[in-house]
Structure 1
Amino acid sequence: MSEFCRLVLQCRPGFEKEAAAEITDRAAEVGVYGYCQLKPHDGYVLFTCQQDGDARVVVDKVDFRSLIFVRQWTACGDLQVLDANDRIGQLGSVLDGYPECVELWVEQPDTTEGRELGTFCRKFGSALAQHMRKKGKLSKRKEARNTRLQLFVLSGSEIYVGIAPVNNSAPWLMGIPRLKFPKQAPSRSTLKLEEAWHWFIPSTKWDERIPLGGSAVDLGAAPGGWTWQLVNRSMFVTAVDNGPMNDDLMESGQVIHAEEDAYQFVPDKTVDLMVCDVVEKPIRTAALASDWLLNGYCREAIFNLKLPMKQRYQETVGCLNLISDRMTEAGVAYELRTKQLYHDREEVTCSLRLL
């Protein structure tokens, strides 16, 4: 078996080409080269490295947080084709050559067919974990604390077996935070902003960066999905949109409705946070966000870039380069992070703040 010769890269179904282009670029930055295999709407990409062991180089050296279209990754070897009568025994032999791990995750593609494997994955994962503990392969020892064993299941007999660094991979199974839609929110888009906070802001920093009683502007707010999240954080919000806002939000006493063009609005004073989910050309939104930071209108911005049907990866890179160039030219220290969230569709979500 070739050891750690490939990466399994999970992504949103339909964005396999974007994930492939991204990992090809990022792997090359750390001197790793290979080729991608993918099928549209499978929800994952295989990146096979030219040299054995190079998959571990990528997951160790590339910052997972910098990846946009990749939800989760696993450094693994060849596909394991198992006998249904002895899956645990066969995998146990394979795992003899693996390092000790602190935990075991069993994942599957985020597709209709993949979700049908959910029950199998949970039961199989539980049985395998017991077997691994008996063999000393699951351990809380210091040497094992940053290594997670990850199985990517294609069927009851086809499984990729690999590892990922706990501190350099998604913190949720399949890279999907389990969020519950709040019934009081006026639209399901509310979950985009909540998920963005989980990806971009450490839980210990929420009170600092999404301050209770703080100020925010929601550009393109109607009917108020993102405004609801801000109000739920006890923030005072200026909701900018020519369309109508949700009545309950307006009755909260925390929202001012500015019936203006989101791209022309200027706040009276600096706010803690600007958010924007306007349907507009992504390059225009990228320029708007950098303007808000450079002009001192806000301390931090979270915004969506709506992607075109074609050249989505290239468009995303172009927008991020525009922001980076403008911030660098202004001589300011900043942090820019981007992710295609589980609750996003034809878009990516960005976080931009001054340091």
Structure 2
Amino acid sequence: MEECLIAYCRAGFEGECAAELQERVIQQGLVGHARAEPGSGYIAFTLYNAGMAERFAQQIGSLDLIFPRQLFISPGLLKDLPVTDRITPLVAALESQANRFSELWVETADTNEAKALLTFCRKFSKPLRKTLEQRGKLNGKNLSAPRAHIFFLSSVAAYPGVSFPHHSSPWFMGIPRLKHPASAPSRATLKLEEAWQVFLTPDQRRKWLQPGMKAVDLGAAPGGWTWQMVRRGIRVTAVDNGAIAPSLLESGLVDHWQTDAFHYTPRHFADWMVCDIVEKPRRVAQLAAKWLANRWCRQCIFNLKLPMKKRYREVQQCALLITEKLETAGISYELTFKQLYHDREEVTGYLRLS
């Protein structure tokens, strides 16, 4: 049975996900090919180098990849699972990969077509979990043990596999489940909340999102991202020609500047600059690089609205542009890109001084 990498991604971005994994595989001196069905929400990447999938997965972290939401190793697709006993072949496949598991996730793709399978996955996870527990295979206290995945394509076809907790997404299906706050001015607020969940550790969130800190929100209207900072007691300069939600202005923490975000020059150093502007991605990347190169902020989160074609290439070009700008300025920095669950045709960048 072939060994492969299963990567979940946003439906419609299978090509970008495959291209990125192909590039990373080559960088590690490995060879393989991707099977990617448009709109499926996942890819299966087969490695020709026997036994190398685990090494690859152990050397790359979830934040090292832009388009994959989750990555796990599978011995291959199990087809035509017997309806009377799906558990036996799935357990056997899992046991061929590891002796014990830290947890079990029974998942499916994040597509409209696969939504009906989620109910089946929830129901099936209970007897499967019980079987693994009876066999002494599940130990939630051993956090370093691999995580068991069962990825169903249908009720009789699934990829069993394992991921490594310190190198994979900590969320079921690779998706942080966030509830839209009723008082937030827009649903875009969840993009910034997710970005902080993904890019920052709990300790970093406590340290870098403290009351009294200062932030600038470029392209702020109507205030979805500003709302996230205000609720944490952060003082915000909201820059936008458009209107900001009155409730935010009434908080006493928001100073609204009605001007173009690309022409705004801050008067004071900011702990954060955040930016969710509908603009060409390279122009936004230049803006983020400018803020850090001028040391106007300590760190920033920004969204790149991607073109319809050559999307991975566009992200690479934006990263190169930022790198060249900051290295020329002699700035030590860290840069990460990730396509978040609440992103659409875009990716989110996280840039900070190091």
Q: Same fold (TM over 0.5)?
A: yes
Structure 1 gap segments, 5+ residues each? none
How far the C-alpha of 1:107 sits from its partner, in A, is 1.2
1:10, 1:71 → 2: CA distance?
5
Letter in 2 for 1:231: V
How far does residue 247 in structure 1 lie from its aligned partner after superposition? 1.1
Q: Deviations over 1:293-334 (max 9, x none)?
A: 111111111000111111100000010111122222223221
Distance 1:342 1:96, change over 3 A: closer
- Say whether the 8 Å CA contact 2:62–2:69 is kept in structure 1: no
Are 2:147 and 1:148 aligned? Answer: yes
Encode CA deviations 1:205-225: one digit per residue, 9 max, x unaligned: 113222211111000000111
- Say if 1:283 and 1:136 are closer, same or farther in 2 by CA, change over 3 A: same
RMSD over aligned CA atoms reads 1.3
CA–CA distance in 1 between the matches of 2:73 and 2:332? 33
Task: Please give the alpha-carbon distance, in whole angstroms, between the structure 2 residues aligned to 1:96 and 1:240.
Answer: 55
Instruction: Provide the C-alpha distance between the structure 2 equivalents of 1:280 and 1:288, rounded to a whole number of angstroms.
Output: 11
Q: CA deviation at 1:93?
A: 2.8
Counterpart residue number, 2:25: 27
Do structure 1's residue 9 and structure 2's residue 1 form an aligned pair?
no
C-alpha distance after superposition, 1:200-259 (max 9, x if no partner): 111111132222111110000001110110111111111100011111111111111100
In structure 1, how many angstroms separate the alpha carbons of the residues matched to 2:91 and 2:353?
49
Counterpart position of 1:78: 76
- Does structure 1 conserve the Cα–Cα contact (< 8 Å) formed by 2:270 and 2:296? yes
Q: How many Å apart are 1:140 and its aligned residue?
A: 5.0
Q: Classify the secondary structure of the residue corresponding to 1:23.
A: helix
2:203 corresponds to 1:204 = yes
In the TM superposition, what whole-angstrom CA distance separates every residue of 1:15-57 from its partner, at most 9, and x where no partner exists?
1111011000111111221111111111011111112322212
Distance 2:132 2:337 in 1: 36
1:350 and 2:349 are equivalent in the alignment: yes
2:137 aligned partner = 137
Q: Find the aligned partners of 1:329 and 1:183 in 2 and give their Cα distance.
A: 44
Alpha-carbon contact 2:76-2:159 (below 8 Å) kept: yes
- The aligned counterpart of 1:223 is 222
- Judged with a 3 Å threshold, the aligned counterparts in structure 2 of structure 1 residues 140 and 197 are, in CA distance, closer, same or farther, namely closer
Return closer, same or farther for 1:237/1:156 CA change in 2, 3 Å cut-off.
same
Task: Give the TM-score taking structure 2 as reference length.
Answer: 0.97
CA distance in 2, matches of 1:96, 1:107: 18
- The code of the aligned residue for 1:61 comes to Q
Deviation sequence 1:69-100 (CA, Å, 0-9, x none): 11001110121121011111222333332212
For 1:174 and 1:339, how far apart are their aligned partners in 2?
16
1:101 is matched with 101
Runs of 4+ off more than 6 Å: none
Query: What is the number of equivalent residue pairs in this alignment?
Result: 352
TM-score, length-scaled by structure 1:
0.96
Aligned to 2:317: 318
The 5-angstrom pairing of residues 162-241 of structure 1 reads 162-241=161-240
CA distance in 2, matches of 1:53, 1:121: 29
Aligned to 1:245: 244
Equivalent position of 1:308 in the other structure: 307
Q: Which moved more, 1:80-89 or 1:326-335?
A: 326-335
Tell me, in whole angstroms, the C-alpha distance in 2 between the residues paired with 1:95 and 1:72: 18
What CA distance in whole angstroms lies between the structure 1 residues aligned with 2:236 and 2:327? 30
**Could you tell me whether the CA contact under 8 Å between 1:9 and 1:46 is conserved in 2?**
yes
* Letter paired with 2:122: R
- The answer for unaligned runs of 5 or more in structure 2 is none
In structure 2, the residue matched to 1:271 is 270
Q: What secondary structure sits across from 2:125 in the alignment?
A: helix
Matched-pair contact (CA < 8 Å) for 2:101–2:147: yes
Secondary structure (helix, strand or coil) at the match of 2:323 reads helix
Q: Structure 1 residues 96 and 277, CA, compared in 2 at 3 Å: closer, same or farther? A: closer
Decide whether the 8 Å contact of 1:210 with 1:273 is kept in 2: no
Please tell me whether the aligned partners of residues 75 and 93 of structure 2 are also in contact (alpha carbons under 8 angstroms).
no
Q: Is the 8 A contact 1:72 1:175 kept in 2?
A: yes
Distance 2:94 2:300 in 1: 45
Displacement of 1:146: 3.1
Whole-angstrom distance in 1 between the partners of 2:230 and 2:141 = 43
Shift of 1:141: 7.1
Identity %: 47
User: Which residues of 2 match residues 28-107 of structure 1 at below 5 A?
Assistant: 28-81=26-79, 82-99=81-98, 100-107=100-107
State the AA in 1 paired with 2:11: P
1-structure distance, mates of 2:157, 2:228: 41
Structure 1 pair 96–249 and aligned structure 2 pair: CA distance change class (3 A): closer
